[in-house]
Structure formats: C-alpha cells, structure tokens
Amino acid sequence: MVAKISLGNSLYGALVYNGEKVNKEKGRLLDTNKIYNDGSGTINIHRAYEDFLRWMPAHTKTERPMMHISLNPHPDDRLSDTDYTRLAHEYMQKMGLGDMPYLVFKHEDIDRHHIHIVALRVGTDGKAVSDKNNFYRSKDICRELEKKYNLHPAEQQKVSPDTPIKIIDPSGDLKRQVANIVKLVGMRYRFQTMGEFNAILSLYNVKAEQTDGCVNGRIYHGLVYFATDNAGNVIAAPFKASRIGKFASRTAIDGRFERAGKEIGDKGLAHHTRRVVASVLAQSSGMDDFIERLKAERIDVLFRHTEEGRIYGVTFIDHNTMCVLNGSRLGKEFSANAFEQRFNSASSETLPVAAPDIENHVENSDRQDNEDNAFTDDGFSAGNSHQHSVGNENSGRDYDDYLPSIPGLDLFQTGPGFDPEEEAFYRAMQRRKKKGRRPKF
C-alpha cells in the first residue's frame, strides 16, 4: 500500500475536490471522525467545513493546518468498503492522528480504487501534530498493515530516465499521469521556451500555462498543467504545479530553459537537426511527405496554421538529440515564412527547390540564433504529433508576446509569425525618430 501525504491550508479546496468525486458518482463518503455523517455516502460540503472550523483553534502558528492523505493498495487487492474504512482508521491511529477530525472518502474514478482522508493536524490548543519523519513512519505503517491484512506489497513506482513516456489515458489517474509526463519530459528533453516545452508535452496530451498575478501585494509567477484529448481539448480541471511537484514549478522549468540553451549551444546539437531537416526538405514533394520523411528520421515537426491556412509557426522535436527547436533557431530557411512560401504559396509549384546552405548556418549559428530569438515561432496548438493544423483568431501576435487576459483561458491564441527583416526595419526607424527629437525645455 502506498500512502501520499500533502500538507496545506486550503481545507475548503480539499473538501470540494472530494465532494466533486462524490457528486459525479465517482466516489463516496465511507466514514468520518468528529464530523457529521448522515450515513448516505454523500457529503454536505458547507456543513462539513463548518464542523471542521469548530475544531480549529482561534490562534495557531501552524501555516498548513490541514492534511490530505491518499492510501493506495496494490491493484490486485480487492477490498470492501468495510476493509477500506478499517484501514483508514488504523492508519490514522498509528500516525498519531486518531483523535483529530477527519473524513474518509473512497475514489472509484479509476480501476485502482483507493481512499482519501481529509484531516486537521492542529489541536484545539493550537499545537500541530508532529510531522517529523512522516514519510518513513508512513511507509513502515503501510508495510505493517499489508502483513496484518494479507495485502500485496506495493511500492511507489520510481521514475527514471529510461521509463517510457505514455500518452494520457482519460480513464486513469490524470494527476499522476500528468506528473509523470512532466517529470520525464524535463529529465529527457531540452527546450528553451514555453512554446517548445508545450510542443513536446503535446505529444502526450498535456499542456502548460503560465499564471502571473498579484495577491495581497505579492507578485507571483506560477504554472498550471492540463490534460487534453487528441484534439487538444481540456478534459479535466487544471493541476497547479505545487500539487504535482517541485520539478514542475515555474522556477524549475525556467532553470531548464537556461541549462538547455547552454547545452544546445556548447554541444552544437542544433546542427544535427538542421542537417537532417535540410536533407529531408530537399527530397520532399509536399508538407505531408516532409512530415513522414522526418518521422522516419525520428524527428517530429509541428506546423501551426491560421484559420486561413497560413503557416505562422513551426517546431521540430528531435528525438535523437532530445532537443525541441523552433524553426527560427535553425535559420531563416526553416522559419514559418519559408515553409509558407514553400508549401502554401501558389508560385512555389513552379519554382525549383534548392537545399538550404547548411555550412553557412553552421558557421554563424550563434549569431543566427540570437537574431531569430526576437522573432521566435513559439506559438503552439496542443494535440498529438499527427495534428499540425489549428485555427486562430488572434492574427497579429507571436506566442511569447501573448499573455492571456484571464488566467486559465485561451493559452494558445497565436497569430502568424513576423517577418524578421520588416520588423528590424521598423524598429530601426523608431530609434531614428527618437534620436531626432529635440529636447523640451
């Protein structure tokens, strides 16, 4: 049996989470301790919250007064509701929490049924039950209960760089799947922007969104993660990075951006992708042929389209070097505008196709990457690797410049890419105008 313990300060949030499972008939309330229970298996969230508050001290120095525990028996164990209830009470007693107010829920939303316990960890005197060595104590208690009730030994699955990454299964434990995907992608791939991060996540039906704001005068920068279907549609409520793990936090991902940039530059990893893409492009008869030929070379390419069908972004995922690269990082020949002219321009059918000048880009890769970063094709539409077309209503903004007006909505509103030469000319003219202004006295 595997136990997971989370400490927090959002008691109401924990009640709502479990209450929604019950309301959707994917769970039921098994038992309570010092909290009202009418025996129907349902829960009145408001009344339960009020009952908890009666046990909450008026003053406490404990910042995280509640705990959310999940007990997960081995999938081969078949337990009755009575068994689950007995396990929950014995576990809480052995953890020193037997006298605290708590609720025991059974979750049936996945094949592996399990229980959740929502409890206070602060007594009426304001003192918290010690959480020292919680992990080791909990593990020993689980082993003890397994032997007592003849349960199969179960250990938490360890994630390693060799663990295969699996696409989201909507019928499974979404939170765990999202966590595993984010962790494995972070361990295995190199990416330098949120767009590139989302490109690789999309292959497994996950997407990430930045959340920036200000609460009580404090500025915060966070991330939330979504599970999606094959069409990129969100299929569940978002998971905050803090619920997934430190490896999924904004700080951790920003750190990976910085390290990836150095590794790609120092090892020249982009050169490999550039050479292969150039070779395949010279042999391809069209977009579909180009995509399939690259797949044979273990490179996924994701095109992004406006509603009118214009290509405004392209991202390459090289599974050989484990690098995710926007087209602009490889050079102008691989930018969104170049592919638009190649595959969508009416005149492209009559123009001879020449292979891009690879050596020139190899010699000037650092300069080219720096120039193109200002015009990155970083927009992305979630979906799997076979979906390379998406509609768009915001037809004038690049992904990295776009910030949603309401957190959680329209993450992937992107527009056609900029023309670097036109943009550079415009900026140069703006600087000249500023220099030519006379000072005011």
pLDDT digits (tens, 9 = 90+) for 208-242: 999 887 766 777 788 999 999 999 999 999 999 98
Contacts (Cβ under 8 Å, ≥6 apart) of 286: 343
Look up residue 163 and give its two tokens. 């663990």
Q: Are residues 406 and 275 in the same domain?
A: yes
The SS3 of residue 122 is: strand
Given pLDDT bands bounded at 50, 70 and 90, which one contains residue 366? very low
Q: Are residues 110 and 181 in the same domain?
A: no
Q: Are residues 308 and 383 in the same domain?
A: yes
Considering the domain boundaries, does residue 163 fall inside one? no
Question: Which helix or strand (DSSP H or E) is residue 422 part of?
Answer: helix 420-436
Q: Are residues 24 and 40 in the same domain?
A: yes
Q: Are residues 418 and 276 in the same domain?
A: yes
Considering the domain boundaries, does residue 354 fall inside one? yes
Considering the domain boundaries, does residue 167 fall inside one? no
Query: Are 416 and 306 within 8 A, CB to CB?
Result: yes
Mark which of 209, 240, 263 sits at the end of a domain. Answer: 263
Look up residue 5 and give its two tokens. 């313990």
Q: Are residues 370 and 424 in the same domain?
A: yes
The average confidence (pLDDT) of the chain is 80
- How large is the average pLDDT for residues 238-259? 91
15: CATH = 3.30.930.30
Q: Are residues 258 and 275 in the same domain?
A: no
**Domain span at residue 320?**
267-428
Q: How far apart are CA 36 and CA 32, in angstroms?
A: 7
Considering the domain boundaries, does residue 160 fall inside one? no
Per-residue pLDDT for 393 more than 70?
Answer: no
Mark which of 212, 247, 263 sits at the end of a domain. Answer: 263
Q: Are residues 129 and 239 in the same domain?
A: no
Q: How far apart are CA 289 and CA 284, in angstroms?
A: 6
Q: How far apart are CA 168 and CA 82, in angstroms?
A: 32
Considering the domain boundaries, does residue 439 fall inside one? no
Given pLDDT bands bounded at 50, 70 and 90, which one contains residue 431? low
Q: Is the dihedral of CA 292, 301, 239, 407 positive or negative?
A: negative
pLDDT computed for residue 158 by the predictor: 64
Q: Are residues 381 and 312 in the same domain?
A: yes
